[in-house]
Amino acid sequence: MEALYIILGAALALGGGVLTHHVQLYYAQQKEENNLLFEIERSLLEIGGLDSELNHFKTEPDTLDTKAKVARYREQKSSQLENLHLLAIRIISDKNRSIAVKVAKYSIDKHHRTDENRYVLLKLVQQSMNSKLLKQYQKETDTNPTVF
Q: C-alpha 19: how far from its chain's center? A: 29
For 107-133, write each residue's pLDDT tens digit. Answer: 999 999 999 999 999 999 998 888 777
Return all residues near 146 (Cβ < 8 A) that are at least 6 apart.
none
Helix (H, G, I), strand (E, B) or coil at 116: helix
Residue 74's region, left for phi above 0, alpha for psi from -120 to 50, else beta, is alpha
pTM above 0.85, yes or no: no
Residue count of the chain: 148
Q: What is the mean pLDDT of each run of 10 residues along the chain (148 residues)?
A: 87 88 90 93 94 83 85 94 94 92 94 93 90 76 75
User: Which of 112, 115, 93 has its CA nearest to residue 37?
Assistant: 93
d(CA 24, CA 29): 9
Note the pLDDT of residue 73: 92
| Distance (Å) of CA 34 to CA 28, 39, 75, 88, 127 | 10, 9, 27, 12, 11
d(CA 56, CA 49): 11
Note the pLDDT of residue 148: 65
